[in-house]
Structure 1
Amino acid sequence: MRILHIIQKKQLRGAEVFASQLSQHLLALGHTVRIVSLDDGDANLPFSGGVSSLSVQLKKRFWDRAGWKKLADAILEFEPDVVQANAGDTLKYAVFSKILFRWKAPIIFRNASMVSAYIRSRFAKAFNGFLLKRVTHVASVSEASRADLVKTFPFLEKKTTVIPGGIEEKHYTPIAHDPNDVYLVHVGGFSFEKNHRGLLRIFRDVLSVRPTVRMWLVGDGVLRKEIEAYAQELSIAHALQFQGYQPNVLDYISAARVLLLPSIIEGLPGVVMEAFYVRTVVVANRVGGVGELVESGRTGWLIERDDEKEFAKAVLSALDKPEQTALLTERAHALVREKYMNEFLAKRFEEVYQNVVISKR
């Protein structure tokens, strides 16, 4: 098959990285694959075929006829059997380009989050419904994401499949630090979904019991300065290390005793799989598809959203019960090895594409 992936930007964000890794595995399966990026960027994405940028004007996303034409030209030149839209504005561009310029390839949409969390008005729901009615199939990243999507847009019930995101086989070297120091870690962009304020309050409570514990915050984003100021306000800045963006997150996760994920919105977070992969225990909020990975007493600690006190207690339990923690991490490692490696998941995407192509004949 000829498969075209659309990404938002050449950046090392989850959606773009996964689309690139998936494309690389699809190449290995014998398909012809191309990736086009709506916007420019300087990230070196993990796809040997290269990523071409359309350089559209995203601030005109609702009326960018020139951008829609650029996408149509790329599609008409490549003649793909399927087109997959991967997060951001990719679905808008794919749908409007297809309507205006009448290319024929079916659109697959990768739903990687909880759609209802971003629909705050009747107009937003109507507009997203308009886009989704023009999609041939949806690949949702988790059962929770699928259920949320179908509840919001019931007409998608029979054309949505759950295919999780996954991870790659990777080499890693734990970050060197004093063996007497105990580190926790959080990995994620500084956005409201990741709930950094709640994270810092949880860490404050942990620190009050274990004053020598330290935490790495790996990631960057628009809220970083605000969170740095909040750390000063809570008098815990001395115990935090803001690492910014790091290409080697496994080095940090593998060196930490616990990964914390107190998010308020998630699809199926790859960082949890990465922690499972390197045998670092996870304490996470029960949001989105997190509960499909983290099971209390089996693969980690799963906490009800907004219960910060219970979250802190779980972190302390993870630190204080090494034998139990070791058992959890072995189970978690086995789970990610069995179900969440990209090489395996690429074959599931391949099956969806084949079924879509056959149904369109």
Structure 2
Amino acid sequence: MNILQALFFPPDQPGGVSSMVPYTTEKFNKRGWEMELFSLPKRLRGKGTEPVGFTTFDLSRYGENPIIDKYVQTYKDYIWWTKLRIRKKYDLIHAHHPIAALAMKEVFPDTPVIVTIHSSYERELLLNGKIADGGPEQLFLTSIYGELESKLDQILTVSNSFKQYISEFIQDPERVGVIPNGYDEKRFRPISHENEVAQLITVCRLVPAKGLETLLEACAKLKERGHPFVLHIIGDGPSRTELEELARELNLYEEIIFYGYMLHPEEFMPFFDIFVLPSKAEAFGSVFAEAALCLLALVGTNVGGIAEQIENGRNGLLVEPGDAAGLSVALEKVVVDPSYRYQLARAASDKARKSYSLNRVMRQLRSVYERYEQ
């Protein structure tokens, strides 16, 4: 089969879809499948001029709205770029973003198109305070799920919890398949080390949705109880200045290192002891699987795909989002007891290797692809 993997932006950074899709494409090619990658250049803006419409709802009801207009323009840009760059036919197109999926179906109406929805743009905007709950932007973005159901041949997503979320906005939830993300184990190399002071690490975009203010408040409580630690924050984003100021206010600045963006954090992660990320929502939470493969103890929140990866007390610890006191207690358990955190880390690593291997993803994807083989 000749298959096109259609990403949103180029896969130029690690983590989640950005690393998984190129790796699976390479593996499929080595096994004799014909696969290519396609994406929209990040700097391409405002090129698409052809009008677009939706069959399941009326776009005009939303009037002029900056967020909706930007989304629709990106859809137009993707169509323009696809028509400009693609000259051949494919047996199947596997898109990894709603915009990519709808654009591909618009350009290639007779080609089977499937989509994996890896995350929720509207939930990200809500949690980051960019849109209001029940506002026009949320209504528009959730309507896109119905449009995908109407036009595409298959919808996939990365966790059962996210399937349940999508199910509220479509007619037939049973059409949605679940294939969790997978990882090439060779990228993750646990390193034997003994840190005298517990080393905590988090890797994420610095935005409100990741709950890092809760993490800093929890660390302040940990410090008040006399437990030494260092927190390493890898990532950048609009919340960085506020987080740095909060660290100063909480008398934590000496315990925290802000690194900014890092291209390959998985090469750095094995030297630490505990991975912690108190997200307010995650469709899957790829970085938890990556940390587990690096043999770190996991501390996360009881939301979305995180709760599907972590069984509380067995292969990690779960707390409720926004609960700084509960998070500080969970961190204390793994900071003060190296044997316990190693036990959790080993169990997390075992599960990640069994459940999130790249070979498992390839087997599941192959079974999907073969349905469209002519």
Q: Contact 2:105–2:152 at 8 Å: present in 1 too?
A: no
Q: Give the residue type in structure 2 aligned to 1:140.
A: T
Is the CA contact 2:180–2:361 (under 8 Å) kept in the aligned structure 1?
A: yes
The alpha-carbon deviation at position 291 of structure 1 amounts to 1.4
Question: Which residue identity is paired with 2:308?
Answer: E
The one-letter amino acid paired with 1:98 is: K
> Following superposition of structure 1 onto structure 2, how do residues 198-217 of structure 1 map, counting pairs within 5 Å?
198-217=214-233
Q: Determine what percentage of the aligned residue pairs are the same residue.
A: 20
The letter for the 1-side match of 2:140 is: F
Task: Say which SS state the counterpart of residue 62 (structure 1) adopts.
Answer: helix
Q: CA deviation at 1:114?
A: 4.8
Point out the more displaced range, 276-285 or 227-236: 227-236
- Structure 1 residue 61 displacement after superposition: 4.7
Measured on the aligned residues, the alpha-carbon RMSD in Å equals 2.6
Number of the residue aligned with 2:168 = 151
Change (3 A) 1:171 1:278: closer
Match of 2:56 in 1: none
Say whether the 8 Å CA contact 1:145–1:267 is kept in structure 2: yes
CA contact (8 A) 2:275 2:296 kept: yes
Instruction: Write the mapping of 1:157-306 to structure 2, written as runs, cut at 5 A.
Output: 157-168=173-184, 169-170=186-187, 172=189, 179-306=195-322
* Structure 2 CA distance for partners of 1:199 and 1:109, relative to 1, 3 Å: same
1:242 CA drift (Å): 0.7
Identify if the C-alpha distance between structure 1 residues 2 and 97 changes in structure 2 by more than 3 Å, giving closer, same or farther.
Answer: closer
Query: Is the 8 Å Cα contact of residues 190 and 294 (structure 2) preserved in structure 1?
Result: no
Q: CA deviation at 1:131?
A: 3.5
3-state SS of paired residue (2:334): helix
Q: Which of 108, 118, 141 in structure 1 is aligned with 2:114?
A: 108
2:27 equivalent to 1:25: yes
Distance 1:337 1:96, change over 3 A: closer
Counterpart position of 2:369? 353
Shift, 1:175, TM fit: 11
Give the distance between the partners of 2:306 and 2:289, measured in 1 at CA: 10
Following the alignment from structure 2 to structure 1, what is the Cα–Cα distance between the partners of residues 220 and 204? 19
Paired positions, count: 338
Give TM-score, length-normalised by structure 1.
Answer: 0.84
Q: Which moved more, 1:198-207 or 1:248-257?
A: 248-257
Aligned position for 1:315: 331
Structure 1 residues not aligned, in runs of 5+: 42-54
Normalised by the length of structure 2, the TM-score is 0.82
> Are 2:4 and 2:90, in contact at CA under 8 Å, matched by a contact in 1?
yes
Report what 2:72 is aligned to: 62
Matched AA of 2:35: V
Superposed displacement of residue 212, structure 1: 2.8
Q: What is the rounded CA distance, in whole Å, between the counterparts of 1:273 and 1:94 in structure 2?
A: 26
**Residue pair 1:228, 1:237 contacting (<8 A) in 2 also:** yes
Unaligned runs of 5+ in 2: 48-68, 125-132
Deviations 1:87-116 (A, max 9, x none): 3xxx224424533x4542222111223577
| Cα distance, 1:244 vs structure 2 | 1.5
Point out the more displaced range, 247-256 or 142-151. Answer: 247-256
2:7 matched residue in structure 1: 7
